[in-house]
Structure 1
Amino acid sequence: MLLVIDVGNTHIVFGVFEEGKLLYDWRIATAKERTSDEYGLLFEQIFKYHGLCPKNVGDVIISSVVPPLMHTLSSMSRKYFDKEPIVVGPGIKTGMNIKYDNPREVGADRIVNAVAGYEKYGGPLIIVDFGTAITFCAISKEGDYLGGVIAPGIKISSEALFSRAAKLPKVELSKPDMVIGKNTVNSIQSGLVYGYVGLVDFIIEKMKEEMKEEGEVKTIVATGGFASLIATESKYINKIDKLLTLDGLRIIYNRNK
């Protein structure tokens, strides 16, 4: 089995592949204060709950945008799975040309998504990842990483509104029935959900214009925890692939094993 781990600022998403097929996937909260032993025991419990044996893990690959957890999870991999993990970063073969001013600045999650997106859907394409931040990635018809956009995520905006506006309540992030809210909760939900739909569609529209020399961008993929909430209302997003990052880790592993 191959254990793939994607470490985000809010969640750690991980899963196990066997012969290229994803058997299980899980999502847990990212906790920087947890030790390698705490993560190891948590992974062991999850594995045993699903009838999986940690000893059957043949390899581990990790991507992370949380530097303090890289050492923690690498130590966990060695101690609890007896494997030296492959870490997505400089020196790793991705098969993708990064046309960024400084390629080292591109987050590991964005590269992993781009690799998976191009492998699964071809190019040119745009990938929108709805995580702690919303990232937009542009991939050329030849599979080059052209660049992208980073915007604050919907949860960050929600928490900022609640913490900075004394009379506004904290609300559930869900889509209201109408744009015009009849109460404060629905009004906030409308502003967050439909406001972000507008943000996403406008940025995609501008990206498509700037990518004209690549040909028509027909594929726009959404991934990440809030993908379904926003993407279903977008006039441009035509695919939702919530496990795109895990597929990307599998692909990168196969190119480096």
Structure 2
Amino acid sequence: MVLTVAVRNSEIRFGGFTGGQIRFAAAIATDHRMTAYQYMSAFSQAFSLFDAGKNGFSGAILSSVVPLLTDRICQALRHFVPQVTVVGPGVRTGLNIKVHNALGLGTDLVTDCVCAVREYPLPCVIFDLEAATAAAVLDDAGNLLGTSIMPGLMTSLYGLRHETALLPEVRLQAPDSPIGINTDEALRSGLLYGMASMVDGMAARLSEGLGKACSFLLTGPYAEHILPNCRQEYRYDPDLSLKGLHYIYLKNLRQ
């Protein structure tokens, strides 16, 4: 079994692959205060729930957009597998990146695109809803033309709470109507319908910028909260990044 791990700002998502298929996927919260040992314990508990890793993993690959945690997570993972491949310089992805500074591109978007090129119709626009909402545009040849970065769902909520004193805690569930009749509904309306409208609007603009019709993908930890409120048709794939990591692992294993 090959272990894939995507370290992100709000969660660390990981999964196991055998025979080219994903066998399990799970996530734990990203916590800068946790030690390598604490992460090792968290991974161990998760693996036991899925009866995974008891015979060891044949290999592991990791992508990270949280540099502070990269070495710590690798140290934790070496309890289960001797070597961890980290996506970065020297690791072949097979993705043709057209942006000016490819090294500055988040590996989360890179892994998303690697999977999308292999599994979804092109051209396409990928929306990854995490701490920030990021979009990546792939042309019909699978080239990554560029990206767009927008405020994320929780980033928007935290910003509101930081700047205002009286806003209550809210759950991530859209009200029945976008017209809120109290503060709670007004907040949930703005957050969930507003974020869905932003994604829909950017989908239209990015497709227009591409100059042709395209498919749209949603992924990331907050995608499931936004998808029901969108008007554009999207394909939802919560494991897009993990599958991309697996493709990258296999490519580098062969070479």
TM more than 0.5: yes
SS in 2 for 1:232: helix
SS in 1 for 2:24: strand
How far apart are residue 9 of structure 1 and its match? 0.4
The aligned residue for residue 239 of structure 2 is 243
With the length of structure 1 as denominator, give the TM-score of the two structures. 0.94
How far apart are residue 32 of structure 1 and its match? 1.7
Write out aligned runs for 1:29-178 (5 A): 29-78=29-78, 80-178=79-177
Contact 2:123–2:138 under 8 Å retained in 1: yes
Contact 1:138–1:145 under 8 Å retained in 2: yes
**Separation in 1, partners of 2:22, 2:86:** 20
Query: Which ranges of 4 or more aligned residues in structure 1 deviate by more than 3 Å?
Result: none
How far apart are residue 54 of structure 1 and its match? 4.2
Contact 1:221–1:240 under 8 Å retained in 2: yes
How far apart are residue 82 of structure 1 and its match? 3.5
Runs of 5+ unmatched residues, structure 1: none
Listed one character per residue, the Cα deviations across residues 170-219 of structure 1 (whole Å, up to 9, x for unaligned) are 2112111001111110011001111112211111111111101xx421x1
**Separation in 2, partners of 1:21, 1:15:** 10
Does 2:221 correspond to 1:222?
no
* Structure 2 residue identity aligned to 1:9: N
Change (3 A) 1:49 1:228: closer
SS in 2 for 1:123: coil
How far apart are residue 73 of structure 1 and its match? 1.5
**Separation in 2, partners of 1:45, 1:228:** 25
Contact 2:192–2:229 under 8 Å retained in 1: no
Q: What CA RMSD, in Å, does the superposition of the two structures yield over aligned residues? A: 1.3
How far apart are residue 51 of structure 1 and its match? 2.5
* Structure 2 residue identity aligned to 1:60: A
Does 2:24 correspond to 1:6?
no
* Structure 2 residue identity aligned to 1:184: T
With the length of structure 2 as denominator, give the TM-score of the two structures. 0.95
The percent of aligned pairs where both chains have the same amino acid is 33
Contact 1:222–1:237 under 8 Å retained in 2: no
**Separation in 1, partners of 2:70, 2:233:** 32
**Separation in 2, partners of 1:46, 1:216:** 41
* Structure 1 residue identity aligned to 2:3: L
Write out aligned runs for 1:170-189 (5 A): 170-189=169-188
Contact 1:55–1:81 under 8 Å retained in 2: no
Deviates more, 1:200-209 or 1:42-51: 42-51
Aligned length: 253
**Separation in 1, partners of 2:64, 2:3:** 14
How far apart are residue 232 of structure 1 and its match? 2.4
Listed one character per residue, the Cα deviations across residues 122-150 of structure 1 (whole Å, up to 9, x for unaligned) are 31000001111100100011111111100
**Separation in 1, partners of 2:233, 2:221:** 15
**Separation in 2, partners of 1:154, 1:82:** 35
Contact 1:11–1:27 under 8 Å retained in 2: yes
